[in-house]
Amino acid sequence: MIAVFVLRRAACRDVVDLAIVLDVSNHVDPNDVQRELDFVFELVLDAVSLDVGRSRVALVTYAETANVQFYLGNFTDRPLILDSISAFHE
């Protein structure tokens, strides 16, 4: 399951570098992976300030090995990050 320490919602409006690591191994039920992705999507949609020059988001998945889906700073706006998360899910 996903383990994320989320600051109070107001604090997430501050500048942060957020690296999200998801367990997508065979040990995790596919429904739980979907819940992980839903949580990440909502977190990026609602809680992280992505104004220019502010917060950055990275996504790493792991099973046997870790795979970087996207690095900090790869995307500079919310729609591109959300599209990347959605594409990973498909």
Tell whether the model's pLDDT for residue 61 goes beyond 80: yes
On whether the 13-89 domain is CATH 3.40.50.410, my answer is yes
Query: Other C-beta atoms within 10 Å of 87: how many?
Result: 10
Distances (CA, A) of 90 to 9, 70, 85: 29, 16, 9
Decide: 63 and 24 in contact? Cβ < 8 Å. yes
| Mean pLDDT value across the chain | 78
| pLDDT tens-place string over residues 9-45 | 444 556 778 898 988 888 888 888 888 888 888 888 7
The pTM for the full model equals: 0.74
Tell me the C-alpha distance between 84 and 5, whole Å.
Answer: 22
Q: Which DSSP string do the residues of 12-58 spell out, in sequence order?
A: GGS--EEEEEEE-STTS-HHHHHHHHHHHHHIIIII----TTS-EEE
Which sequence spans correspond to the domains of the chain? 13-89
